Amino acid sequence: MIIQLKGVEKKFGNVHAVKPIDLTIKDTFVTILGQSGCGKTTLLKMLAGLTDPTSGEILFDNQTIFSRSKKIHVKPNKRQIAMVFQDFGLWPHMTVFDNVAFGLRGKMSKSRRSDIVHDALQKVKLEAKAAMKPGELSGGQQQRVALARAIAINPKLVLFDEALSALDAILREQMREEILTIVQSIGAQAIFVTHDQTEAMAMSDSMVVMDSGDVVQTGSPEQIYHSPANPFVANFIGKTNWVEDCKKMIRPENIHLHPYKHTTVKSGVVKKSMYEGDRYLILAEADGYIWKFYDSHPHEQGRDIKFYVEENYIHSLEKKEALS
């Protein structure tokens, strides 16, 4: 599906939640990434039909599903989409089976509905839990029920609103892999809203980065990480070193402890070593700046150190505001 937003914006009174956006989404798995309050969930709800844009047009495969000027508004249940919410949105008094079957009521025979529900539960590995209530399941299992309910209606597009934020770190990682596999298996497209940079980088074919109601950059995770469009993106996605009066930046992985081609040597003093599980983040002061880079072992605080900066990976950006 090709999704087009033409001049789409949303105001809540005097608050400009989403500023006018022109955006085309084609890839299979797209994440909308940004801080809380940046407008990403509002944008998702406009795609779903749960919130009307103040102005602009939304098209799915060149078919207009919303246009205020043309007075077109395709209802949410006619858009061939499903939505998975942060709080799962399950009916506590219904069984897992009935929760998954809810969107199929009145659309087909009972036997056909049963086949579809069992198939959806099989995809999320919960066929043995069909007779249980949501309150009897773990958080990860409840998330799987919500996903099964979404895919049961055979949507063209699945929208995820911070769908993994209620889960612990291990479950989140497991569910990332499962969501990608399931979305691919049903041949659907997905748009996934998150504030988690690691989640977005790991899952996306392409990303949409938002800041204060604006789309500030789109592209593949690699493009956005290595060539950020502005200082906000550079700071928000990954770690950065700002140099030359904070007008240029370089990523820690492009700084080494041994000389390479096209590197500049720096002499400094170790300020701190921070353990990150598979490596250490070293902070060293040189030329009046704190430099961050990685090594397999810690370095003693106060020790003199030389490191080498890859000149080809220094990006010129005017840094207006840094994030810690």
Over the stretch 136-191, which tens digit does the pLDDT of each residue have?
A: 998 888 988 999 999 999 999 999 998 888 778 888 888 888 899 888 888 999 99
Tell me phi and psi for residue 191, to 5 degrees.
Answer: -125, 125
* pLDDT-derived band at 244, boundaries 50, 70, 90: confident
- In whole angstroms, what separates CA 177 from the centre of its chain? 14
Mean pLDDT, rounded, for 98-106:
88
Mean pLDDT, rounded, for 3-9:
97
145 vs 147: CA distance, rounded Å: 5
Indicate whether 24 pLDDT > 50.
yes
Please check whether residue 131 is in contact with residue 190, taking contact to mean a CB–CB distance below 8 angstroms.
Answer: no
61 vs 59: CA distance, rounded Å: 6
| Domains and their CATH numbers in the chain | 3-226 (3.40.50.300), 248-308 (2.40.50.140)
What pTM, to 2 d.p., does this model score? 0.87
Indicate whether 23 pLDDT > 90.
yes
DSSP 262-275: TEEEEEEEEEEEEE
Mean pLDDT, rounded, for 80-109:
88
Res 168: pLDDT: 82
